[in-house]
Amino acid sequence: GKGRWERCGTCALRHCRVSKQEDVMAPLRTPFQGFAVRFSPFEEDKLAVATSQNFGIIGNGKQHVMAKRGGHGPVEIAAYDTADGIYDCAWSEENENVLVSASGDGSIKAWDVSAPAQANPLRSYHEHTHEVYSVAWNLVGRDIFLSASWDNSLKLWRLDAPGSLRTFKEHTYCVYAAAWSPSQADVFASASGDCTVKLWDLRAPTSTLTIPAHDYEVLSTDWNKYNDHMLVSGSVDKTIRVWDTRLPNRPVTTMVGHKYAVRRVICSPHRENILLSCSYDMSVCLWDTMARDGEMVRRYDHHTEFAVGIDMSVLVEGLVASTGWDGLTYVWHLSQDPRVV
């Protein structure tokens, strides 16, 4: 690990530490609208922000990489222009300098932050026939990643391969998100506009479970980091649902509080019961999934446009980030107001 590691005592991660005031950053303003934000899994003060021009409808994209340098920051250490908007990004789990971007033109681009500008993109894949909306790096195997697309499919990739390793095509509408199991290298979940969440195992020829998760499109899903059988889903129906994959016919909990579609959900890497969400109602919400009816712990109303990207730091407990269509990215501690640095 890097930096001043302090065992936080509340999670299973050997190298995590508790957030301090110095971890908080001033809001970042990007030229285009924010779509996704991701903390580096290797360096606690580095994050990637995926952005799109004109709200992702038409125009260019830009992949930003920011970091604190010399006690100041955040400072932009890399930026990559693309011909179409970027909807998502994911850091490599095996190389601290590599990340991938999901583009509106159906392409996936890999970048190497340590390489000179002329060496980027490191890779450019173009197999999807519509927008790529999500990319997810395997947390256990560490050498493969997934893409999810509006062409109703998911694809499996490895950077040293010339093309995709496998295509998963069972969803009947756009696939908005993919999420790897945090403990099983071959297992992942996908969320789709066909109102389902599907579970997949790379060792099986077809999906292993289909959950009729919501009555409207499912935009996001994530796994509980401490329970292999629990996952969450967020939907256009404004709700978040917690699922036990052993009993998929009904949700464990349905959490109500957002006023518009739930764009992303993410389970805490440090606490089994904590969940973060963001929504087209411009808010970011913190939830306790083990409280009665999934209690909302706090609502953050710092964005002035759709809040569409969130992340929780694996390395620093309590440190979170959000980005939105107001062109602002915030990094703050859960106990704070994001607008107060």
pLDDT, tens only, 134-155: 999 999 999 999 999 999 999 9
CA distance from start to end of the chain: 27
Which tokens is 240 given? 């978040």
Q: What 3-state class would DSSP assign to 222?
A: strand
Which tokens is 133 given? 């909306």
Contact between 189 and 201 (Cβ < 8 Å): no
Q: Residues near 100 by Cβ (< 8 Å), separated by ≥ 6?
A: 89, 90, 92, 108, 109, 110, 111, 135, 137, 145
Q: How far is CA 270 from CA 198, 275, 337, in A?
A: 25, 10, 20
Contact between 197 and 182 (Cβ < 8 Å): no
Q: What are phi and psi of 142, to 5 degrees?
A: 70, -10
| pTM of this structure | 0.92
Per-residue pLDDT for 171 more than 90?
A: yes
Q: Measured on CA atoms in the order 195, 197, 200, 206, is the torsion positive or negative?
A: negative
> What does the pLDDT look like over 94-137, one tens digit per residue?
999 999 999 999 999 999 999 998 999 999 999 999 999 999 99
Confidence category of residue 74, pLDDT binned at 50, 70, 90: confident
Confidence category of residue 292, pLDDT binned at 50, 70, 90: confident
The whole-angstrom distance between residue 90's C-alpha and the CA centroid of its chain comes to 7
Per-residue pLDDT for 14 more than 70?
A: no
Q: Measured on CA atoms in the order 37, 271, 215, 209, is the torsion positive or negative?
A: positive
Q: Average the pLDDT over 50-70 and give the result.
A: 90
3-state SS track over 162-179: CCCCEEECCCCCCEEEEE
Query: What average pLDDT does the chain have?
Result: 92
Q: Residues near 47 by Cβ (< 8 Å), separated by ≥ 6?
A: 37, 38, 39, 40, 65, 66, 67, 74, 311, 321, 329, 331
